[in-house]
Chains A and B, each alone.
Chain A
Amino acid sequence: MNGMIFDIQRFSVDDGPGIRTIVFLKGCNMRCAWCHNPEGLQTYPEIMFYPQKCIGCGKCIEVCPHNCHTSEAGERLFLRERCERCGECAKNCFSGALEVTGRSAAVGEIINEIKKDESYYINSGGGVTFSGGEPLLQADFLTELLTECKKIGLHCAIETAGNAEWSVFEKILPLTDLFLYDIKIVDEKLHEKMTGTGNKRIIENLKKLANEDTEIWVRTPEIPGVNDAPEEKQKFAGLLAELQTVKKHVYLPYHALGDSKYKSLGLSPPFQI
């Protein structure tokens, strides 16, 4: 079966133990203000535009059926309001100034790519990590991927924010060795304000997960001025105290490296320090 992904990244050492390959699934049901993978938010393929790579060949202007691309006073413009994301411009852009992010990929194709680094996984105690976006949103696709990975004996990790039905967790639990579970904010009101959704279900899922036979690392992006206040941290400590089986808790420092990705998607980063 097929699913929507936006990247397969090899030789990753920051997303689980050992040397790993990360598969990024496209689509997320949260809108965290500081998200560093904005290309993973929508479920559909999108056009990314890097004007610094444009060589001025004009092919995109020629082939676009909706006249989205123009040049004005020497500056290349991409009028996204008209864009229907057919991808013809990117297909014909050889310099890589226009790229499509997100594609439908078959399970088999992804597994073949993952297999290429098997020796490294085996020797390092690594494996594969499914991330995104929110991987739990493509439950069937994810389950099939995990099943195939298990057939070849791979260690499987999932990076998730936990905002899905418990039934999805039930499906993937027997196939998952490690959950890298994001808890952004414990205070419910603040969570809703900064991520667009409440965290009741997220925290409930985590508590349920902590009773299952699986390894969990809780991760929190530390966003200055948002979740670094002492009251929030205390609430956090309280939550963690209830989760006796959580192996570790990691604070991920805020960075703005994703800002240029917003720009190339025609958006502006919702959060700035």
Chain B
Amino acid sequence: MLASVIADSAAVIKDDELIFGYNYYGSDEAMYNELAIYPRMEKGKKKLTDYLEQGKLTEEQIGFVIGALDSSVKYTAHTPYVPDASEQYADASSEGAVWSPGVAENHTVLGYEKVLRLGFSGILAEIKDGLKNLDLNDAASVKRKQLLECAAVVTENACNIGKRYRKKAEEKLKNCLRYEIAQDLNKMIEVLDSVPYGPAKTFHEAVQSLWFAHIINTWEDGINANSIGRIDQILYPYYKKDIEEGRITKEEAFELLCCLWIKLYRDYDVQQAMIGGVDQNGDDASNELSTMILDVTDALGFVRCLSVRLHKGSPQKLIKRALQVVGKGNGIPFFFNDDILIPALVSNGIELRDARDYAAIGCVEITIPGKANPHAVSNRINLLKCLELALNDGVSLTTGEQAGPKTGSVSKMTCMQDIVAAYKKQAEYFTGIACFESNRLELQNSLTLPMVYKSILTEGCLKSGRDFNNGGAKYNYHESMPMGIPNVADSLAALQKLVYENRKYTLKEVADILKGNFADETVRQEFLNRAPKFGNDDDLVDSYAARVLEHFCKTLKNIKGISGLGFFAQPFTFLWLIEAGSMTAATPDGRREGENIAYSISPMQGRDSSGLTAVLNSIAKLPSKMAAGSTSAIIEVDPALFERDKIDQMVIMLQTAFQKGVGQIQFNVTNAETLKKAQAEPEKYQNLAVRVSGFSQRFCLLDKKLQDHIIARTKHTGF
């Protein structure tokens, strides 16, 4: 099916393009063909219906199309038997303790550099070679034959994309009235003669080939966190050659990158690109393109996602330039710490050379481009819910059901150890359930969701004859997301302070207070404000956070996957913190029932009030080197810090934070919007401080008049 999508999807060329190619939805007559692969998923039917409604088809006509799709499903292969999700999983999920999507749409980084290097014809030649040299005495080779033959069909069609676009370009050229566009079309015809059929010979060919390679990936299973990988590494050799041989100017390269960026960010969702970091030998890999890409991002202004890898030897200039872009206010680029993440990957079974090549997939989760099936966002566990259950002998406060194992009544608990032990049992139980479901879904996908294109561009698949979703990749693992760590830490610290140190309440009294959802606001304020909170560089609460993450990572190490390396910890919540919070009762950190939990490993919103270095120090105490899926932290910063005379301090602050052990950071530049929210909900924004020389005052404590004044003078950012 993918092959026919590649073969038949319309070639669409718009004016002023220097890079051609549209992927998936939003593009015109190509849509109905691309959607042909979606009968597999309900979502696809909904999308098609929406699209058809836009096209002013009558209800009857829409019904006809959808009906045809439905009945065509009958003609697909019989679905093999896979056990249903276990009852335990269903219960745990309905209680808000775990969610296991197993695999989300796309969420991969493929080995695109191969397409640039060999062209699809070169890849086809390798495949045909493989078929020729099958060892018929090796029984396993029949599986290899199956995969290789499918791969050949897809690759054959991929070879011809360039030709189809070339034909379209020639048509357009015939009717072209503008000189500049005719020039562009002529240039493009040359490019399309070459790629993606053959290897890329120039920078322009490389960029175009990369884009075609990427489109096919999204035709296979949709756009949703498809990173294009380490783009400054992939494109640099072609750039360097062109510049040295005078075939291109820097401005022309800049323009081509802008065209690529516009393609990447045309539709919703995260299509990441990554720059910087180390090379295979551990040396700095940043190059001229790294900075140029920052410049492109800055110039275009609407880009949603870009990441920078930093290491001890990253040039100051690169860091400064990246921070300047952050200062523009769109919250990008994100920063990833090689010195934490590479050891993390290695300690989870990735070879050092490959670990050094890691790239972000979506917002945060990382993988080894072209070598892994990372099952990103495979499952998530609400650790705060686990604590809630631990304080109630496994009974959920939100539903009254026995949701977790019986870990003991609080009346029998006499010290923090007892509480922590009960919590650990709950966390281990639910982590096991989440991972079991991930494994079940991997089994299901291995039988029902072959990904031929991904198999072609992921090392290990064609060699082993096992499809990408059937354990064929060199590295197979799942990324498992612990949620609510800062809240668990805050809660344990509150229990230690108020129950055992100050003896203000018994544990049973606390359990009842939580059951009553903090009916007495004074009591809630006490739990909120009279115990240390994560993010303030307080060792008591920070060490709880570290122990919770450590326990989670160790728990994962004991769980096996059905193929490969098992489960990597990825302390990242995405926006699911809202859902998780909505299903969790009141907790000892002063959080009411249903309220959000913390974002990833950032301090719970508004609870950090000791300054930026304190937040970073707290995060740095976490064992991020155990989390091979990458941690994530959003740090709120004052836009004044990015001004010319202050930005050097920001560079040093970032380097120092990474030195101390912070694994990943995203900056959120405070803007007028944030300040308005802070006016409306001061409790969530206790950390916002207005600073000038010799003075500091929390924004929330200022008179409204002064607040309005500051809002008015804060530059608006974003668009």
Contact = CB atoms under 8 A, between A and B. Distances in A.
Is the pairing of A and B real? yes
A55 B526 CA distance: 12
A134 interface: no
Given A50-B701, A95-B525, A124-B653, A10 B614 contact: yes
A208 interface: no
B653 A119 contact: no
B650 to A, nearest CB: 9
Interface string A95-114: 11000000000000000000
A180 to B, nearest CB: 8
A79 interface: no
A61 to B, nearest CB: 13
Given A36-B694, A59-B522, A94-B529, A120 B646 contact: no
Interface in B662-706: 682, 690-697, 701-703, 706
Contacts of B696: 7, 9, 12
B251 interface: no
* Most A-side CB within 10 Å, residue of B529, B656, B693: B693
Contact of B656 (A36, A120, A257, A258): A120
Interface in B100-133: none
Interface stretch (A70-78, A233-241, A259-267): A259-267
Contact of A10 (B529, B610, B694): B610
Interface residues of A, number: 41
B352 interface: no
A52 B678 CA distance: 14
A47 to B, nearest CB: 15
A271 interface: no
Interface string B14-37: 000000000000000000000000
Interface string B506-530: 0000000000000001110110111
Given A57-B522, A116-B613, A116-B617, A19 B694 contact: no
B652 A124 contact: yes
* Most A-side CB within 10 Å, residue of B612, B646, B697: B697
B611 interface: yes
B706 A19 contact: no
B529 A14 contact: no
B554 interface: no
B611 A264 contact: no
A257 B695 CA distance: 9
A95 B523 CA distance: 10
B491 to A, nearest CB: 17
Nearest to A117: B613
Contact of B529 (A37, A96, A119, A256): A96
A131 interface: yes
B611 A94 contact: no
A251 to B, nearest CB: 11
Nearest to B693: A14
B697 A12 contact: no
Interface string B615-629: 001000000000000
Interface string B461-494: 0000000000000000000000000000000000
A257 B706 contact: yes
Contacts of A46: none
A205 to B, nearest CB: 19
A255 interface: yes
Contacts of A159: 694
A221 to B, nearest CB: 9
A22 B694 CA distance: 8
A272 interface: no
Contacts of A219: 693
A94 B502 CA distance: 15
A123 interface: yes
A123 B526 contact: no
Given A10-B611, A96-B529, A260-B706, A15 B521 contact: no
Interface in B590-646: 610-614, 617, 641, 646
Contact of B697 (A15, A96, A258): A258
Given A11-B653, A94-B526, A123-B652, A261 B697 contact: yes
B508 to A, nearest CB: 21
B692 A257 contact: yes
Contacts of A59: 522
A265 to B, nearest CB: 12
A57 B523 CA distance: 10
Nearest to A261: B697
A219 B692 CA distance: 13
Interface string A136-164: 00000000000000000000000100000
Contact of B702 (A15, A116, A257): A257
A257 B697 contact: yes
A19 B649 contact: yes
A37 B696 CA distance: 9
Nearest to B651: A124
A114 B524 CA distance: 31
B693 A15 contact: yes
A11 B530 CA distance: 24
Contacts of A255: 692, 695
Given A36-B694, A116-B537, A124-B652, A13 B646 contact: yes
Contacts of A259: 703, 706
Contacts of A52: 682
B652 A120 contact: yes
A148 B578 CA distance: 47
A229 interface: no
Contacts of A263: 703
Nearest to A250: B693
B697 A55 contact: no
B180 to A, nearest CB: 48
A94 B702 contact: no
B660 A12 contact: no
Contacts of B537: 116
Contacts of A260: 697, 701-703, 706
Nearest to A13: B649
Contacts of B702: 257, 260
B610 to A, nearest CB: 6
B141 interface: no
A257 B530 CA distance: 28
Contacts of B186: none
Contacts of A95: 522, 525, 529
Nearest to A255: B692
B714 interface: no
A124 B653 CA distance: 8
A259 B528 CA distance: 28
B4 interface: no
A3 interface: no
Nearest to B523: A94
A32 to B, nearest CB: 12
A116 B616 CA distance: 11
A165 to B, nearest CB: 23
A257 B690 contact: yes
B659 interface: yes
A19 B653 contact: yes
Given A37-B695, A116-B614, A55 B649 contact: no
A252 interface: yes
B655 interface: yes
A119 B653 CA distance: 9
Nearest to A18: B649
Given A94-B528, A123-B652, A263-B703, 14 more contacts: A9-B696, A10-B613, A14-B693, A59-B522, A94-B530, A96-B529, A120-B653, A123-B655, A159-B694, A252-B693, A258-B695, A260-B697, A260-B703, A260-B706
13 contacts: A7-B696, A11-B653, A15-B693, A19-B649, A22-B694, A55-B521, A94-B528, A116-B537, A116-B613, A120-B656, A131-B694, A257-B692, A257-B695
Across the A-B interface, the 10 shortest Cβ-Cβ residue pairs: A94-B525, A57-B522, A10-B611, A14-B693, A124-B652, A11-B611, A94-B526, A11-B613, A11-B612, A95-B525
